[in-house]
Amino acid sequence: MQQPLETTQGNYRINTDKSQLQLPVIHRYLSEDSYWAQDIPVSLVETSIEHSLCYGIYHHEEQVGFARIVTDYATFGYLADVFVLPAHRGQGLSKWLMECILAHPGLQQLRRMMLMTQDAQGLYAQYGFTVWEYPDRCMSRRIGVPYSDMKNNKA
């Protein structure tokens, strides 16, 4: 297990210390405000955090952003659940977060890092992410029901 990393910029700090993550902030954003995880149960957010390299962005002691990387630390990483709360946008925090993620010592040997986004292609393109060059090779399998069905006990 690697030691948590931390860096500061003005009144903001970014770190990888999971003990500082504020689960209610993360869960509320993902379940209520994100387009990709509407109604996700808090237990699934907890499990996803447990099994990922996580980054928190903090303004003083308040968590204002988050990202996680699902990785084997050897060949592959998947960037997920990236957000900055609306009140803190427009200050370069997402760019700073990407710089911190891509500089992580444990991710330097990865052959590929992937992500999916509906609306932030411009941000990620600045850091070398491109549309998949071989779309005929990339496949996915959707498993399970939407989180809203789980929430309403329809599963």
Task: Name 37's bridge partners.
Answer: none
Least confident of 43-52, 117-126, 146-155: 146-155
**pLDDT tens readout for residues 28-37:** 999 999 999 9
Contact partners, residue 24, CB within 8 Å, separation at least 6: none
Task: Name 59's bridge partners.
Answer: 12, 62
| Strands in 72-145 per DSSP E | 76-84, 112-114
**pLDDT tens readout for residues 59-94:** 999 999 999 999 999 999 999 999 999 999 999 999
pLDDT at 137 over 70: yes
- Report the predicted TM-score, pTM, of the whole model to 2 decimal places: 0.91
- Other beta carbons within 10 Å of 61: 8
Contact partners, residue 70, CB within 8 Å, separation at least 6: 51, 52, 77, 78, 80
What domains can be seen in the chain, in order of their start residue?
6-151 (3.40.630.30)
* Buried b or exposed e, range 96-112, using 16+ CB within 10 angstroms: bbbebbeebeebeebee
Q: What DSSP element (H or E) covers 47?
A: helix 42-50
